[in-house]
Structures are given as C-alpha cells and as structure tokens.
Structure 1
Amino acid sequence: MQYDVIIIGGSYAGLAAGMPLARARRKILVIDGGQRRNRFAQHSHGFLTQDGTDAGAIAAKGREQLLAYDTVHWLEGKASSAERTEHGFRVQIEGMESLEARRLVLATGVVDLLPDVPGLAERWGSHVFHCPYCHGYELNQGQIGVLASSPMSMHLALLLPDWGATTFFLNDSFEPDDEQLEKFKVRGVRLERSRIARIEGGLDLIMQDGRLVKLDGLFTATRLEMASPIAALLGCEFDDGPFGRTIRTDLVKASTVPGVFACGDAARPGGSLPLAVGDGTMAGAAAHQSLIFGGY
C-alpha cells in the first residue's frame, strides 16, 4: 500500500501535520513510538485554550480527533530507516514490512541530555525545567535556580528574575566577565560558585562545601540529540546551534530533501507545544500542496 504522506512521529507536531492532510481527504499514516518529549511534565502551560491541561490528555485528544477522519491510519512502532524510491519514499518499521508514501513529514523529536548532577534527572519535568514560559509562573515568585551548562546559560539567568528570586549556579562551567557581572547586578541575580554535589528531597541542593540550598524550581539548558536517525539517512541538512543540531527547513517546513518536510522540536531551536502545533500545521499543508503543485 502506498500512502500520500507518512508522518513519522505522533506527538503534537505530527498530529498537527496530519490535520490539514486529513481534511484534504489524503491517505496518511502516522507512525508513533509513544515517546513524547514532555512526558515527564504533568501539565502543559502557555498553550491557548489548554493552559494547565494534562500534557498527555492533549496528545490523546489530538489523536482521537485526527483518527476520526477515515483516511487516517495509525501505526504504533518505531521507524528505523527511510529511503527514496522511484515514486516517493520507503519507510522501514522495526519488526514489520516496509511502507511507502509519496511524501514524508518528520516529526521525530529530540532527546534532552541533562548536566551530570546526581538527582537532577529524577526531577526533570517536576522540579527541574528548561522553559520559564512553560513552568515559571507556577513557582509563585519563589526561590529559583539556574544551573549553568555553558556561557549560553546566561540568557536563562537574566530572564528568570521576572519569575522569582534567582540564583545562578555556575558549577565551574564558565566565569563571567565584568560586563556580564554588571548585567547580573542590574537584574538582581545572585551568583553561586560552589559546585552542586547532589540533589535530594523535593529540590534540596547539597553543595560541595556542605551547605544546603532549598529551591522551588531549577532551570537548566540541555544538550539536544536527534531522537531518530532518519533525517540524516535521507540526506537532510542540519543547522548547528549552541545546544545541538536541528533539521534545516524553510518557511513552509520543507527540508533540503525534496518531498521531505520536518516540524516540531527536531526542526527548530528551543521548542514548545504551541510552536510544535504551528509548525506541524504548516508542514502538513505544505506537504499537501506539494502533491498538487510539485516543488519543495
């Protein structure tokens, strides 16, 4: 069976990509491995009409609405590779037969690589976050920490005083210069140069000098890795950013490989649920139009 479009990844971006294609009555397949990036967070914030809603419930509702269209098919599995064929693309799914489509939408997501601090990973999504716009308000202007992973972490540290009293834990990642120190002073950011030995309790930071620092929330920038090798296998070009690579796309989310579109966190720096939905919608509409007009 050949589909019009195969969407690899069934989280927010992939679901959103499916909607314009489904409404155009195109035969599509969504392949999903069930690993949402925000699966560690209980609630989603900042998404208009869904603020504070359970993150999993939003994805489940999106899947229910998409599957209400009878040209949409869903496959739970992991796409392991993809290649160009004479008439489009062939996608190999682990433990199954390969499937073909005229177009591909990659909504494959990324993996967060956290700083190596004992106790940090266990609190990811509940007490440790990456986005103040998603999680800052709920800290109720309490005690906030920023764990530096590189000089780029300054950006977070200078943002977060709008959400609470902010301490910047340098953790030997870099030493601010005089100009940077002045910026911290203006924003009221306190600097902490002792390393974090481990994290205990809710969010109790045990410092290497033995002190205990209690926080209401801790933010850190993660390194990003592609969650799937498929974009690279297809020959897509990437953009290198300060926190990792993203699939290079144009304004309509077309990749550098004709017929392949990419959306969501794998195809933009940063990332959030509303941005993933917007990008997915654009990618799905562009994929549909490419079936009619060619190009991309």
Structure 2
Amino acid sequence: MNDVIIIGGSFAGLAAALQLGRARRRVTVLDTELPRNRFAGHSHGLLGHDHKPPLAILSESRAQLARYPAISLVTARAEGISGSIDDFSVLTADGERFRARRLILSYGVVDQVPDVPGFAECWGKSIVPCPYCDGFEAAEQHWGLVWSGLQSHNQARLFLDWTDKLTVFADGHDIPTDIRAALEHRNVPVVDGRITEIAHHRGHLTTVNLDSGSNVAVDILFAHPRNRPSASLHESLGLATVETPAGITLKVDERRQTSVSGIYAAGDLTTPFLPSVTQATSQGAMAGIFAQQSMLA
C-alpha cells in the first residue's frame, strides 16, 4: 500500500511528491500530462525558473524526482475513489487499482474559453488571465480587459501599474455608471458591444472585433473565463466547495485538508484568485508535509 496517492502531477502534485519522497514515504502520482498552462510559451514569477517554458520545468522536475525510490510517476487518469482514511482505493481509467492511507487532489482546473472565433487560438499566448505572469513582458503596451463582473474594476486599477494604455471591453455587461466614471477619470475607455471575433496571426492578437462593426487594436488581452475542475472526483467524494466568480474551488483548512479526513488538496483546484505556479508549488509542498505528519504514530 502507498502512504499517499497524488491525483494530478503538475506543479502542486510534484511539489507534494518531492516532500513525501524526501520523507521516505511511498507515494504514487497519477497524471494525465495535460497541465493547465501547457498553452503558454513561458512561465514567469517562479524563483529559479523565471521565463522557462512550463512544460520544460515540469519535465525537469520529473527527472529530479527519479532519484527518490519511494516516488512512482504513473501516466493515468483516476476514474474513481472509494474507501476512507488509512485505506483509500483509486481506480484508473485502464482498470488498475492503487491503495493508500492518504490522498492529495491536485488535478487542477480547465478554463472554459468562450465560443468566439480566435479566442482559443490566442489563449495562453496573447489572451491571458494574470498580470503577474505576463504583465512585465507587455509593459507600456496597449492592454485590453474583457469585463467579467465587478472584480474587473479592481483588475483595471491593478493593470495601471504596468501600462497607461488600457481599454475595457464591456462584452455585453452592464457596467455601473459610477464605475464607468471612475474608469474615465483614470483615462480608461470603455467599449460597448459584444466581442464577435479575435483577429490574430498564429495566436498573436491583432484586433478585437465587435458586433457594432468596430475593430479595436490591442497588444494583449486579459480575460477571466470561468473554469471547472478537470475531474469530478471531488463530487463523488462529497467534498465541500466554495463558489467564486471564476468557478468552484475545493474548501481546505489551514493544513490543506478537505472536508473529508485524510484527503488533502492543493493548486488551482483550491485557489480562487490569481492562481500561479508559485502558489501551486507552495500549496503542494504544504499538502505533502501535512499529509505526512498526519500519519505519524
């Protein structure tokens, strides 16, 4: 039997595995090898790995874990979980079954990009969600922000640390008059109408096209589409969740334990605002440490 099974082997999952492997705990990582940021050319803000392709960082991380004999990396999708603390059972899509005393869920989320021509092709390249991840490289350029709710007002204020050329696209939302006035005071224009197309060249945005017939040129577009967990295991387990403007996240306590004893969670699955590789790595490490400590005799 494993000490811990980790479901999801991106940054949070591998960070958890590293801590457990160094503690000589037997751990199996089940991963589909489809990380959320696989569309991005570079990852930013992770100390020691700044401006490296995210897939390259993950590949290097997996290679480093090979020196720990207690860690097993398995390419598989977990389809079902049964049992309880000290005796969990995980069934994979190909029929293999693994048992463990503890579980760590780090299978992340899937972004539900809108059905707008060109959006998916630009996602992760010139349409991005996080200024801390991509803002420095696009500083002082013309930014666009797709309005997604009242939280977008704070995002617009935040973006002005990187650029003084920002356009907000209402995209059919009714932006309150006082917020429009506040944006105008900061020299941030609001463009009404729905976005009908993202014109681009090989994923590099050229214009945002609207149903009014106007086309607005921007260099980078920030958008925050809703997301959903990339698996439904938390639903079958009855884990408590939290509703956020972006989607649901798993509820965890200060030790990263979910509402079910013996099941921990980390990464984007638990991060409602400004998820990042740095946060995922930190949370994964703590989930691994707390899972280990919960098994002490």
Q: Residue 119 of structure 1: CA displacement? A: 1.2
Task: Tell me the number of residue pairs that the alignment of Structure 1 and Structure 2 aligns.
Answer: 291
Q: Residue 161 of structure 1: CA displacement? A: 2.0
Does residue 54 of structure 1 match 2:53? yes
Alignment map for 1:94-173 (pairs within 5 Å): 94-164=93-163, 165-173=165-173
Amino acid of the residue matched to residue 237 of structure 1?
A: A
Which of 198, 211, 214 matches 1:211?
214
Q: Residue 86 of structure 1: CA displacement? A: 7.5
Does residue 280 of structure 1 match 2:287? no
Q: Which residue of 1 aligns with 2:199?
A: 200
Amino acid of the residue matched to residue 260 of structure 2?
A: V
Alignment map for 1:1-296 (pairs within 5 Å): 2-85=1-84, 87-164=86-163, 165-178=165-178, 180-201=179-200, 202-203=204-205, 204-270=207-273, 271-292=275-296
The worse-fitting range, judged by mean Cα deviation, of 186-195 and 21-30 is 186-195
Which 4+ residue blocks in structure 1 deviate beyond 4 angstroms?
none
The worse-fitting range, judged by mean Cα deviation, of 145-154 and 264-273 is 145-154
Q: Residue 79 of structure 1: CA displacement? A: 0.3
Equivalent residue of 1:18, what SS?
helix
Unaligned runs of 5+ in 1: none
Amino acid of the residue matched to residue 66 of structure 1?
A: L
The worse-fitting range, judged by mean Cα deviation, of 256-265 and 45-54 is 45-54
Question: In the aligned structure 2, how far is the partner of 1:24 from the partner of 1:101?
Answer: 16
Question: In the aligned structure 2, how far is the partner of 1:217 from the partner of 1:44?
Answer: 16
Identity in percent: 37
Contact 1:153–1:220, Cα closer than 8 Å, also in 2: no
The worse-fitting range, judged by mean Cα deviation, of 100-109 and 185-194 is 185-194
Amino acid of the residue matched to residue 187 of structure 1?
A: R
Q: Residue 252 of structure 1: CA displacement? A: 1.5
Question: In the aligned structure 1, how far is the partner of 2:73 from the partner of 2:258?
Answer: 24
RMSD in angstroms over aligned alpha carbons? 1.4
Q: 1:150 to 1:116 in 2, by over 3 A?
A: farther
Equivalent residue of 1:14, what SS?
helix
Question: In the aligned structure 1, how far is the partner of 2:106 from the partner of 2:46?
Answer: 19
Q: 1:84 to 1:52 in 2, by over 3 A?
A: same
Contact 1:81–1:229, Cα closer than 8 Å, also in 2: no
TM-score, normalization by structure 2 = 0.94
Q: 1:186 to 1:51 in 2, by over 3 A?
A: farther
Contact 1:84–1:234, Cα closer than 8 Å, also in 2: no
Unaligned runs of 5+ in 2: none
Question: In the aligned structure 1, how far is the partner of 2:80 from the partner of 2:286?
Answer: 24
